[in-house]
């Protein structure tokens, strides 16, 4: 399998945009026609999540290169939800999308190895077949090492939480240590892992999660982590705009993928689309919102250069 960032860049150049669509099937936001009648019937909800997420994938697969299923919402439903997650990931792969599983996993030593080997790579030996996984850094460098090894061996990617998009993230991440915030120390470790895992491009298989809601820090981290690909959450519903994420890209328009979840998958309920589409034409709303986000990023960030060089 080719290096993760080489595959990522190929997909982004083919589509001409760095949009990452997050699959976060929240029960209360699912289009009405898809909701099961019995709110406590977990397998019925799992079936609904699968139908909904596969329906999103069908719409966006011609437009974008990457999806990011959020494990938590599937896990919430118990084993039936995990079976649905596997089928959604499989559907995404079959449609030619790269699949980043957002699980924010990690543990010590051999347990981290189980997460890495279980989630990353093709099935088998992986149980899930994700192209990349999000990972938490609190357990330190030995907890990240199994992910580095597995990513290298299988052409997979890893995105380590560095600066998250939520307001409370600053509680620990912004603590000052030797004149720099904690997230900069975490970023420094991630950069060292990226340098060890470079593809044919200048980016490593180990990247960083950096929120769109902190534009100044995005630009600052771009400068000091030149080999880290950034997964940028927080666009749209969480408040990040195209101008906020401009600093995440390099001069070629590479180096970042920008995630929107609710703003795309539940677009049927956004004020600007509600009247035109509504819950029955939710897939058309997904397409409209995806095209709108692509246009915003192409207009206001270096990602606009991606389409110039393609075709």
Nearest-angstrom CA–CA distance, 107 and 145: 11
- Rounded least distance, CB 36 to a second copy, Å: 13
Q: What is the DSSP letter of 266?
A: T
| Binding residues for a second copy restricted to 14-43, rule: CB under 8 A | 24, 26, 40, 42
Within 10 angstroms of residue 228's Cβ, the number of other Cβ atoms is: 27
Minimum CB separation from a second copy for residue 291, in Å?
Answer: 26
Q: Please state, in angstroms and rounded to a whole number, the distance separating the CA atoms of residues 259 and 102.
A: 11
Could you say which residues in the range 153-192 bind a second copy, by CB under 8 A? 161, 164-173, 175-177, 182, 185-186, 189
Nearer to a second copy, 107 or 284 (CB): 107
Give CA–CA dist 47/41, Å, rounded.
10
Shortest CB 32 distance to a second copy, Å: 19
Where is 190: in which H helix or E strand?
helix 182-195
132-135/98-105 β-pairing: parallel
DSSP state of 128: S
E strand or H helix at 81, and its extent?
helix 79-94
Least separation in angstroms between CB 186 and a second copy: 7
Q: Does 86 bind a second copy (CB under 8 A)?
A: yes
Site for a second copy in 108-147 (CB under 8 A): 108-112, 114-115, 117-119, 123-128, 136-143, 145
For residues 197-236, which are near a second copy according to CB under 8 A?
A: none
Quote the CA–CA distance of 65 and 60 in Å, as a whole number. Answer: 9
Place of tokens 């077949």: 129
Q: Which two tokens stand for residue 32?
A: 């009405």
Catalytic residue among 95, 104, 163, 170: 104
Please report how the helices 79-94 and 42-60 are oriented relative to each other, as an axis angle in degrees rounded to 10: 10
302 closest CA partner among 267, 253, 258, 256: 253
How open is the CA angle 10-11-13, to the nearest 5 degrees?
A: 65
End-to-end CA distance of the chain: 24
Stretch that binds a second copy, among 11-19, 50-58, 75-83, 287-295 (CB under 8 A): 75-83
Long-range CB contacts (< 8 A, 24+ apart) of 41-46?
42/77, 42/78, 42/80, 42/81, 43/77, 43/80, 45/77, 45/80, 45/81, 46/74, 46/77, 46/80, 46/81, 46/83, 46/84
> Could you tell me the smallest distance in angstroms from the CB atom of residue 173 to a second copy?
7
Give the range of 49-57, 98-106, 224-232, 300-308 binding a second copy by CB under 8 A: 98-106
Choose between 95 and 104: whose C-beta lies nearer to a second copy: 104
Member of 35, 95, 104, 305 binding a second copy (CB under 8 A): 104
70 is a site residue for a second copy (CB under 8 A): yes
Nearer to a second copy, 90 or 202 (CB): 90
- The region of 106-114, 149-157, 246-254, 286-294 touching a second copy under the rule CB under 8 A is 106-114
* Active-site residue, 104 included: yes
Please state the closest distance from residue 141 (CB atom) to a second copy, in A: 5
Contact string (CB under 8 A) for a second copy, positions 268-307, x = contact: ----------------------------------------
Catalytic center residues: 104
Interaction site with a second copy (CB under 8 A): 24, 26, 40, 42, 70, 72-73, 75-83, 85-86, 102, 104-112, 114-115, 117-119, 123-128, 136-143, 145, 161, 164-173, 175-177, 182, 185-186, 189
């Amino acid at each position: 399998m080719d290096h993760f960032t080489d595959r990522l860049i190929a997909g982004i150049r083919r589509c001409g945009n760095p949009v990452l669509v997050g699959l976060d099937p929240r029960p209360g936001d699912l289009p009405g026609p898809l909701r099961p009648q019995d709110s406590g019937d977990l397998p019925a909800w799992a079936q609904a999540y699968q139908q909904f997420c596969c329906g999103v994938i069908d719409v966006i697969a011609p437009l974008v290169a990457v999806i990011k299923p959020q494990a938590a919402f599937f896990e919430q439903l118990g084993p039936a939800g995990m079976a649905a997650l596997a089928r959604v990931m499989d559907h995404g792969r079959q449609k030619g999308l790269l699949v980043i599983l957002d699980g924010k996993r990690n543990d010590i030593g051999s347990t981290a190895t189980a997460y890495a080997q279980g989630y990353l790579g093709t099935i088998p030996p992986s149980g899930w077949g994700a192209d990349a996984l999000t990972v938490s850094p609190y357990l330190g460098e030995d907890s990240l090492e199994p992910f580095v090894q597995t990513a290298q061996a299988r052409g997979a990617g890893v995105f380590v939480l560095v600066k998250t998009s939520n307001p409370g993230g600053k509680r620990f991440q912004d603590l000052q240590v030797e004149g720099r915030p904690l997230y900069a120390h975490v970023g420094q470790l991630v950069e060292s892992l990226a340098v060890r895992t470079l593809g044919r491009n200048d980016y490593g298989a180990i990247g960083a999660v950096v929120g769109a809601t902190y534009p100044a820090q995005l630009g600052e981290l771009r400068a000091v982590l030149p080999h880290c690909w950034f997964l940028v959450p927080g666009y749209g519903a969480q408040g990040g705009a195209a101008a906020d994420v401009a600093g995440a890209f390099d001069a070629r328009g590479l180096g970042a993928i920008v995630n929107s979840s609710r703003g795309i998958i539940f677009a049927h309920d956004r004020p600007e689309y509600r009247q035109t589409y509504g819950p029955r034409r939710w897939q058309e709303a997904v397409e409209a919102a995806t095209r709108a986000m692509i246009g915003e990023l192409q207009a206001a960030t270096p990602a606009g250069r991606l389409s110039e060089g393609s075709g």
